[in-house]
Structures are given as structure tokens and as C-alpha cells.
Amino acid sequence: MQAWINIIMLIIHSCSGNAICIDIDQKKIISKSGDIISFEIEDGNYTYTFHLKDNVRSQTTIDLRNIALNNNLLENYPGAGIKPFYLQPNKKYKFNNHTDGDAGSVIVKFYTDSLGNLHSLDNRVCE
């Protein structure tokens, strides 16, 4: 019986998902289903890959104001360590959370206006 309970708990934990939403006012991506550890940001020209430190738990938000400074990053350019990354004005972005490899990745689309304010493109705004 204990073995079945352990298996069920493992399944529940491993399938926590990658559900996210965007907080427009706070300029943050918020996880609805656990930690965020691995994600990408696409800007139409490039795809930037980010990995947070594995030993950091309970990071359920990603601060988009200065990703390299305001988050517990291990690297944001694979093999190159941490470099500054800022959202640019008048640009469209896709934030792709693929932390949980057992679940499908989840994408939030947004854009910045000329003042750097965020606007949702897909209604995944946090309530």
C-alpha cells in the first residue's frame, strides 16, 4: 500500500505543469503550478534561454524589469553565464515556460509600448 502512495505522490509532483500568467502592472510572470526554473523569451529575432539555480525553490515569479538582476539566474546565455537582459520598447515577446519536462510548455504572449509598459496579446493576464 505504501508503495502505491509513493507512486501516486511522484506522479502528482512530476506532473505539476507549466501554467503561467502575466501580471501587467508588476511586470512579472507568475506560475500557477509551482516553481519556474527554465524558460525562454523570444522577441521575433532571437530566442533567449534562461535557467534558474536548481537549489533555489519557491521562485514562482519572474521579474521582467531586469531578468538578470532580479531573479536567481544560473545563466541566461547557455555556456556564457549571466548577461544583462532588458525588454525593449515597441516589441512583441513570447515567454515560454518549460520547467516541467513532463508537461507541455506554456507560452504567454505580450508586447511593450513606447514607454515600456506591458500589454497582453493572449488574455493570460493574472487575476
pLDDT, tens only, 49-107? 887 766 666 688 888 987 776 667 765 666 666 777 789 999 999 999 888 766 677 89
pTM: 0.77
All residues at 6 or more sequence positions from 20 whose CB lies less than 8 Å from its CB, including other chains: 29, 30, 31, 32, 36, 95, 97, 106, 108, 124
Confidence label for 6 from pLDDT (cuts 50, 70 and 90): very low
